[in-house]
Amino acid sequence: MASQLTWSGPVEVDGQPAVYLTFDDGPHPEITVEVLDVLARNKVPATFFCVGKNAEKHPQIIRRIRDEGHEVGNHTYAHESGWKTSNFQYLKSYARCQELLDARSFRPPYGRITRSQAAALQDETNIIMWDVLSGDFDENKTADMCFDELLTNTRPGAIVVFHDSVKAADRMLPVLEPYLRWLHEEGYTCRLLPVSS
C-alpha cells in the first residue's frame, strides 16, 4: 500500500530545499481566514485538505483559498477513519466531498486508510500523507513544544501537517508565522505539492 501513498515531496525546487505546507480539517470561518492572512503576508502557498461538511457551510472560504493560489484537497465529507468505516461508506464520503470540491488530492483523516480503500482511490486521486506532524492537535502540548518539534523534524522534501481547526488553533496560530520565518532564514522554499490532474 505504501507505494500508493505520497509521504514526501521533491527535495529541491529551482535549486532550493523545498517543504510543502498542508492544513487539515477546515475550513473554519475565523481560523482558516487567519491562516490565509499569515500565508499572504509571507507569500507562501499551501494545500488545504477540507472536510466536505465544513466546505459546504463556508464556500466563500474555499473560493478565497483558490483565489489566493492555494490548493484545495479532499478530506472526506465527515472526517471518517478508514479503519473504522466500511469501504462503501468511506468511498461514498470521499465522493460526496469530491462533488463539492473537485479536488486533485486526498488525505485520509487521521492518516487511516485500508489497503483496499487506497486501491479503490489510487486511480481517482493523489493520496497525500505526510512526514512532519506539527502536533498542534495534541492538547497536551504547548505551542513552544510544537515549534521545537517542527524545527527538529523539518527536512528538504517534508510534507508538514497543521490543522485549521478550533482544537488546534491555540497551538497552530502562535507557531505558524515564526515557523515560516525560520524556513525563510534556513533557505527553504515553500511550494505546492506536485499532483497529477
Tell me which of 58, 136, 163, 164 is the catalytic residue: 163
The answer to whether the beta carbons of residues 109 and 75 sit under 8 Å apart is: yes
Task: Choose, from 14, 24, 25, 123, the residue flagged as catalytic.
Answer: 24
The amino acid occupying position 40 is A
163 given a catalytic annotation: yes
Q: Any catalytic annotation for residue 28?
A: no
Q: Pick from 178, 121, 123, 128: which is nearest to 154 by CA?
A: 178
> Smallest Cα–Cα separation from 93: which of 107, 77, 74?
77
Pair 121, 91: CB distance under 8 Å: yes
CA 169 to chain centre: 15
Residue corresponding to grid cell 481560523: 31
Catalogue the active-site residues. Answer: 24, 163
